[in-house]
Structure 1
Amino acid sequence: MRRLYFVEPIVAIYAFAIFLVFPLVQQYVYRRLWQELTNSSYPVSDNSRCTPTNGSNHSNQHAEVQRAASLFSLYSDLFSSIPSLTVTLVLVSYSDQCGRKITIVLPLVGSLVYILAFLAVSFFELNLYLLIVASFVSSLFGGVGTMLGGCFAYIADMCEDGKQKMMRMAGVDMVIGLLSGVASISTGYFLRAAGFNWPFFTAALFQLANLLYTIFILAESRVVESPAEGVSCGMAMQKLVKGVQQIFVGGSHNRNCLLGLLITIFSVYTFADMGGLSMITLYELNEPLCWSGILIGYGSALSTTVFLTSFAGVSLLSRCLPDVVIVLIGMLSLCSGLVFVAFAKTTLMMFLARIPMMLAVMPFPVMRSMMSKVISKSNQGVLFACVAFLESLSTNIGIAVFSSIYATTVAWYPGFNFLLAASLCIIPMMMLGLVNLFREDDSEETEPLLSGAQNISSDDLPVA
């Protein structure tokens, strides 16, 4: 059978399956906690209005369930973060020796285990906290950071040109947005028509198909030079440490400072982005919005269009603007959108709040490409292992921090989380101004990174 060199279908199916389940996770937990804490059935409505019994007791119930749901998210994240981070760092860096496919296969197995566990809890109405155990077990196989780290390293193997690399990485983000948007719209209707069980079962089937494609159809991008040697765990760790040493201390002072600065900016922005937006579903379920599953699906779908608009933004702006300016525009987009969300009190305002964030994903592919340009081909796996590790770490810490803050502030001002995240965006924006200080005028690698893509012809662009 002829094998293919495309990871985009894997990312697409993975995004569809995850975003078919992800909006349901918080809703399912929220409904179960509502039943347990209030001893009453969850009020289901097809519109965005709260139930007629809008008394103080009803508001107190909402606040209590909101706090419990955010703390549940915190515990789930804490129990899964450490194993996932460790696996991401070791596995993606080790892919320089053993190939990239293992970094994709194992997270797909973990995701399948988690979805099947969720299906079991929902179908048999098992203890809700078994989901935390399932989250921990699935994290032993890695997580989304592991898979995306492997996919980006795979793309780096296949692309020689820096512009092509950036566009293909942006294309991966676009695929995530396109398929996750379709899944998010489907979720609300799926939930109303069939309950929670069928969406979980459907997502499990998609992940199984994804796993089979990866194992039997996807070609390996990195040929293992000495497969017969056998690498022990100790040797793998030694190679990891050596690889990290090479990418951080193997270059000139300016290059090392530039790389460290880019990684710091990337991590802080990820913390503000993922942490700030992690509570948006709970915010929509809370008063005064009180969104239904249908509206949450539409809201999630509208949010995921940011991947499409960000891809278009990277495609157009990279022709006339430096990479640093593109990143700055994306950060300003996120910051303004978060401020808008913090003051949105009606359904229309909440939908309109997505518009300022239409370019918020641009910094991620551009900065990955910027970091990849200053690292040798042989160390791409180690680089993306470190990037995926720090991205997962920033995401997990961000969700944990903002979950606890939301639980504390939801009673007096639910929008505080979004204002805090918007304020944190100022830090990486200020740090971007330092990038040009470490420019190496005599380097062929860092010149394109800072000057943009003005001199790259259209022949260098990848085929969509």
Structure 2
Amino acid sequence: MGPGVTCPWSGRLPRLRVRTWIEPVVASTQVASSLYDAGLLLVVKASFGGGGSSNHSASPSPRGALEDQQQRAISNFYIVYNLVVGLTPLLSAYGLGWLSDRYHRKISICVSLLGFLLSRLGLLLKVLLDWPVEMLYGAAALNGLCGGFSAFWSGVMALGSLGSSEGRRSVRLILIDLILGLAGFCGSMASGHLFKQMAGHSGQGLILTACSVSCATFALFYSLLVLKVPESVAKPRQELPSVDTVSGTVGTYRSLDPDQLDKQSVVGHLPSPGKAKPPKTIIALLFVGAIIYDLAVVGTVDVMPLFVLREPLRWNQVQVGYGMAAGYTIFITSFLGVLVFSRCFRDTTMIMIGMVSFGSGALLLAFVKETYMFYIARAVMMFALIPITTIRSAMSKLIKGSSYGKVFVILQLSLALTGVVTSTMYNKIYQLTMDTFVGTCFALSSFLSFLAIIPIGIVAYKQVSWSPYGDITEK
């Protein structure tokens, strides 16, 4: 029972402890998701216009009437699809999080993975049997009723937080995100090539969707039969000077376990009620910052596939896969950013760096005319993943370990709900502006990203003006 349980990549670990690593589940699930996302876009595109990439031969209209009609059809499909994906988890995700906290940590992960598998099977059946695209709404509903990504990712974050100390938690969680990004990169790079493996309208996408189903099946059975819940990493409680200090969220906030507040006699004196405010205000501000920033990110991600299919880029299947893969490189750069920035910056500073990075990239994306400009904008977004991950880490330092499942799922459901509104709004804005200024949605995302800095800046200010343990942090 040594301390090596903190991180799966360091120290000498007993053989059985490998089974506590969540990374194989995250990797296989994300490969399945990246293949599914690319396959869904290309299958829907083929359903709404067949010829797709060679539209300019069918109509002499200057703006390409057929292309605009196809874009609106795809956009309308995604409006309904994203509504189903975003709203149905509200019925089950919180209950799964509660059950995970109360009974077993794997409940939310395993049930949501069952939904993932069912939705991937739905796309495979659509390709095999040439069913109408509307049946994919039903597959998405099954996924959502099983908790969807909200339940899955909150379960993953809970396991990652339990198996790491507070001092290493930001790095631990961003490491899981790195695995997610690497898996998504590999899946996206292969997706365009796999989609073209079988010729003919009915056969295209069969191998791609079959690979997605296989990866989702592996993730489900691995989580059921192999994965074990890690033991919570105990923090030293007898030595006051060695208590971790949160390098961020609340400045000099000392991260004593909330469950052990009654044992603070070792501190010397308790925080005075007049000076020590509860962390609810900090948590609320972190929630607000996360939601506003997520509005910007979700809006950009939802519109980007439509943007690259039409003029001025007009990408084919392989280029679509490469473009999606470029989006996953931010998982690598954000991981490296956290490793470097966490040594010299507070959590709030890292969050604001990520928001500035994404906002600047989104603004450049609004004026993209060539493919190389798209990749430059993506490169500027290199730290875009830092904010949400660091906010999760910051919250985990302010709540009890027994509440991780509920709090993380509330945050994830809040992001999912706002994402539903954002998806509908952005798709409608895109339809209205694609003939005038196609980058309107990206400019709006840039504004929202910079706006999200305000609540995080207030948290940073409270770091200086507020300390929950009185004058002890100044001694």
Q: How far off is 1:118 after superposition?
A: 0.7
Q: Matches of 2:402 and 2:83 in 1, distance apart?
A: 33
Q: Matches of 2:467 and 2:354 in 1, distance apart?
A: 29
Query: Of residues 362, 368, 381 in structure 2, which corresponds to 1:344?
Result: 368
Q: How far off is 1:383 after superposition?
A: 1.4
Q: How far off is 1:400 after superposition?
A: 2.1
Q: In structure 2, what is the equivalent of residue 217 of structure 1?
A: 226
Q: In structure 1, what is the equivalent of residue 210 of structure 2?
A: 201
Q: Matches of 1:266 and 1:284 in 2, distance apart?
A: 27
Which ranges in structure 2 are unaligned for 5 or more consecutive residues? 1-14, 199-203, 233-257, 260-272
* Larger-Rg structure: 2
1:147 correspondence with 2:152: yes
Q: In structure 2, what is the equivalent of residue 61 of structure 1?
A: 66
Q: Matches of 1:436 and 1:191 in 2, distance apart?
A: 47
Counterpart amino acid of 1:443? P
CA deviations on 1:92-133 (whole Å, 9 max, x unpaired) are 133110121011111111111111111111111111111112
Equivalent pair of 1:157/1:222 in contact (CA under 8 Å)? yes
Q: Matches of 1:68 and 1:328 in 2, distance apart?
A: 37
Q: In structure 2, what is the equivalent of residue 42 of structure 1?
A: 52
SS at match of 1:432: helix
Q: In structure 2, what is the equivalent of residue 71 of structure 1?
A: 76
1:374 correspondence with 2:424: no
Q: Matches of 2:442 and 2:190 in 1, distance apart?
A: 27
Equivalent pair of 1:67/1:410 in contact (CA under 8 Å)? no
Q: How far off is 1:433 after superposition?
A: 1.6
1:268 correspondence with 2:272: no
Q: In structure 2, what is the equivalent of residue 302 of structure 1?
A: 326
Q: How far off is 1:199 after superposition?
A: 0.7
Equivalent pair of 1:100/1:151 in contact (CA under 8 Å)? no
CA deviations on 1:306-327 (whole Å, 9 max, x unpaired) are 0100000000010011111111
SS at match of 1:333: helix
Q: Matches of 1:43 and 1:213 in 2, distance apart?
A: 39
Greater relative contact order structure (CA < 8 Å, 6+ sep): 1
* Equivalent residues in 2 for 1:101-116, closer than 5 Å: 101-116=106-121
Query: Of residues 387, 406, 409 in structure 1, which corresponds to 2:433?
Result: 409
Q: In structure 2, what is the equivalent of residue 360 of structure 1?
A: 384
Equivalent pair of 1:93/1:384 in contact (CA under 8 Å)? no
SS at match of 1:278: helix
Moved more, 373-382 or 312-321: 373-382
Equivalent pair of 2:366/2:443 in contact (CA under 8 Å)? yes
Q: Matches of 1:14 and 1:431 in 2, distance apart?
A: 33
Q: How far off is 1:352 after superposition?
A: 1.8
Q: Matches of 1:53 and 1:346 in 2, distance apart?
A: 24
Equivalent pair of 1:89/1:386 in contact (CA under 8 Å)? yes
Counterpart amino acid of 2:194? F
1:287 correspondence with 2:311: yes
Q: How far off is 1:193 after superposition?
A: 2.0
Identity %: 26
Q: How far off is 1:378 after superposition?
A: 2.0
SS at match of 1:193: coil
1:129 correspondence with 2:134: yes
TM-score (norm 2): 0.82
1:84 correspondence with 2:93: no
Q: In structure 1, what is the equivalent of residue 253 of structure 2?
A: none
Q: How far off is 1:391 after superposition?
A: 2.0
SS at match of 2:353: helix
Q: Matches of 1:173 and 1:51 in 2, distance apart?
A: 41
Q: In structure 2, what is the equivalent of residue 233 of structure 1?
A: none
Q: How far off is 1:54 after superposition?
A: 7.6
Q: How far off is 1:52 after superposition?
A: 6.0
Equivalent pair of 2:86/2:419 in contact (CA under 8 Å)? no
Q: Matches of 2:231 and 2:341 in 1, distance apart?
A: 32
Counterpart amino acid of 2:206? N
Q: How far off is 1:395 after superposition?
A: 2.3
1:29 correspondence with 2:44: yes
Q: In structure 1, what is the equivalent of residue 237 of structure 2?
A: none
Distance 1:101 1:222, change over 3 A: farther
Q: How far off is 1:283 after superposition?
A: 0.3
Query: Of residues 100, 105, 108 in structure 2, which corresponds to 1:100?
Result: 105
Q: How far off is 1:163 after superposition?
A: 2.7
Q: How far off is 1:437 after superposition?
A: 4.2
Equivalent pair of 2:96/2:108 in contact (CA under 8 Å)? yes
SS at match of 1:177: helix
Q: Matches of 1:55 and 1:342 in 2, distance apart?
A: 27
Q: Matches of 2:388 and 2:406 in 1, distance apart?
A: 18
Task: Give RMSD over aligned pairs.
Answer: 2.4
Which ranges in structure 1 are unaligned for 5 or more consecutive residues? 36-40, 45-49, 224-245, 452-464
Q: Matches of 1:349 and 1:438 in 2, distance apart?
A: 39
Q: How far off is 1:405 after superposition?
A: 1.7
Q: Matches of 2:16 and 2:340 in 1, distance apart?
A: 35
SS at match of 1:434: helix
Moved more, 86-95 or 411-420: 86-95
Q: How far off is 1:177 after superposition?
A: 0.9
Moved more, 408-417 or 201-210: 408-417
Counterpart amino acid of 1:82? L
Q: In structure 2, what is the equivalent of residue 462 of structure 1?
A: none
